[in-house]
A = this chain, B = another copy of it.
Amino acid sequence: MNLNQAVDILREYSEAAHAYEHAMGVLSLDGDTAAPSASYKGRGQTMAYLSGVSYQLLVNDRIRDCLETLLASGDRVSPAVRRQAELLKEDYDRLTRIPLAEYTAYQALLTDAGAVWHEAKQKSDYPMFAPYLARLIDTERRFAAYRDDTMPAYDVLLDTYEKGASTATLDPFFATLRRELTPVILAVKDCPAPRTDFLHGDFPIQQQRVFSDRLMAMMGIDRARCGIAETEHPFTTNFNKWDVRITTHYQQDDVASSMYSVIHEGGHALYELGTGDDIQFTALATGATMGLHESQSRFYENLIGRSLPFCRAVLPVMAELFPRQMAGVTPEALYAAVNKAEPSLIRTEAAELTYATHVMIRYEMEKLMMAGDVKVDELPALWNQMYKEYLGVDVPDDRRGILQDSHWSGGSFGYFPSYALGSAYGVQMLAAMEKDVEVWPAVERSDLTPITAWLGDRLHRYGRLLTPERLLRNTMGADFDPLCYTAYLRKKFSALYRL
């Protein structure tokens, strides 16, 4: 195969792969936001079929030859083509090691598990979900071993979501967080809680929908290219830079829940909306790693969205949409309320201070699951025990405990640590950004465009063109140091709680 042929094959493949990913992505989005409940059967069948075709598109000798030709061509191919070949070769290697029948069976299992988890969570019925979880763990362990049986299964999975991550790097990372943050968490526990009652009035969902639109406008999100839908567990999905969707979940008695969910998912959306025109419809047109993605979502959610300047900017909007509920609330009171740091049950609603501890609990559980060191029946008790031990809270039911997250039902084991890593990356990005951009005056005047432009220039536009290491250097301008993250949290919450 000559180089021109290889480049043509890559282009054809990219077009086809985008079509299948797009179709499966919309099927999945629709399933989570709009489809009737019994539709999962037919969708499972379709997803299994399409993922089988998608697998075969990549896993064949023609693509193998194409990738080998491209990878052997040095500077004769563009950096974009070489990077695509590198990334596809990783996918190729990962997939070829999984037998097709097992791969498609797993896709069908995921669809079933998702539907069962939804119902089990609603009913707080862990035993209903347990057999699916057992099969998911079993399959993930088997797949990890197919890919690399020289490493522990969990390290194989961690590396998938966060290139280079392993228990060897994450154990000390989480140990640092525990050491630095635990004293603050415990001190905060003894402080009087801020007023939050005004966030828990009656917030009609119709009006919250309008608020979501206003928040997306404040973030500078192009609505011609980004939709919003409603689902149980919010997520963002993207098909190309002209079609990104965020989702949220409204609670009539809690305006902050959807508010910060929209800002979080909006951060993911801005990353995808900012990928370069030149890389669309290729394997490069998406966020580089899960940690980098979470660095963006949690950047907007916490570093910006839970700052005092943002509270000053958003309060007039809230007062306009919810005049009765927000009467007499000051920016300082809103700032204190949205930073209430008392340990709680739900990760997605956790305070910035305690968030990484929620992640750490999942990390510890995943380590045990993937090592085969725990039975699925024992998991809820283990979960509840760790919540008591690390956060001092009693878990009243599995709905608010082990069933709260969709990740495991979706086959995402090893993803959680990316949330904590991303949170930590964001703090170092902000420090670098503050040298170039007048961040806080911009936030206070509701103009996040210079912030997004700075991130767009150093991160978003590249998609996966540059390596994660390079992108982290671009944005942090220094080596990763978890002490920056813990110092930021200690300072913010010491001031808020006058420690």
Query: Residues on A close to B: CB < 8 A?
Result: 15-16, 18-19, 22-24, 26-27, 29-30, 33-39, 41-43, 45-46, 49-50, 206, 222-227, 229, 239-240, 242-245, 280-281
Q: List residues of chain B with CB within 8 A of the CB of A43.
A: 22, 239, 243
Report whether A22 and B30 are in contact in the complex, using a CB–CB cutoff of 8 Å: no
- 18 A-B pairs with C-beta separation under 8 A: A19-B46, A22-B27, A23-B23, A23-B24, A26-B26, A26-B30, A34-B227, A35-B243, A35-B245, A36-B243, A36-B244, A38-B224, A38-B225, A39-B239, A41-B240, A43-B239, A45-B281, A206-B206
Q: A48 — nearest CB in chain B belongs to which residue?
A: B19
Q: List residues of chain B with CB within 8 A of the CB of A35.
A: 227, 243, 245
Report whether A242 and B27 are in contact in the complex, using a CB–CB cutoff of 8 Å: no
Q: List residues of chain B with CB within 8 A of the CB of A27.
A: 22-23, 26
Given A19-B50, A45-B19, A49-B16; A225-B29 close (CB under 8 Å): no
Given A45-B18, A46-B19, A206-B206; A243-B34 close (CB under 8 Å): no
Q: A243 — nearest CB in chain B belongs to which residue?
A: B39
8 Å CB contact of A46 from B23, B30, B34, B245? B23
Smallest CB separation, A277 vs chain B (Å):
11
Q: Given the complex of chains A and B, what is the CA–CA distance between A223 and B35 in angstroms?
A: 10
Q: A226 — nearest CB in chain B belongs to which residue?
A: B36
Q: Given the complex of chains A and B, what is the CA–CA distance between A222 and B39 in angstroms?
A: 12
Most buried by B among A19, A224, A225: A19
8 Å CB contact of A42 from B16, B45, B50, B242? B242
Q: Given the complex of chains A and B, what is the CA–CA distance between A45 and B239 in angstroms?
A: 12
Q: List residues of chain B with CB within 8 A of the CB of A280.
A: 42
